[in-house]
């Protein structure tokens, strides 16, 4: 029987979990998920990327100052945001 190891990290990139660590405490949250601001349903970032890819090319490749892309929740239509749980702040 081996030792149980818990990784405590300040990184938000999810690499400790991707490396196979099962017990990870992310002190500053993670950028790997987005949360609906209305119903609090969580999505992998791949959902946000899929929504962006589904846009017509003329919308995808505009200057950043003209970008109006807002990812939405499939459950309720609310806005998806990255939430860092350690500070309850929304980015």
- The catalytic residue positions are 28
Q: How far apart are CA 28 and CA 36, in angstroms?
A: 19
**DSSP-derived 3-state class of residue 45:** helix
Q: How far is CA 41 from CA 13, 58, 73, in A?
A: 20, 30, 8
């Amino acid at each position: 029987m081996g030792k149980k190891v818990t990784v405590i990290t300040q990184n938000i990139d999810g690499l400790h979990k991707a490396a196979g660590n099962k017990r990870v405490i992310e002190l500053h949250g993670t950028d790997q998920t987005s949360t609906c601001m209305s119903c609090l349903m969580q999505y992998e970032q791949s959902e946000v990327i899929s929504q962006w890819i589904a846009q017509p090319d003329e919308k995808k490749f505009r200057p950043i100052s003209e970008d109006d892309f807002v990812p939405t929740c499939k459950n309720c239509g609310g806005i998806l945001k990255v939430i860092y749980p350690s500070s309850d702040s929304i980015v």
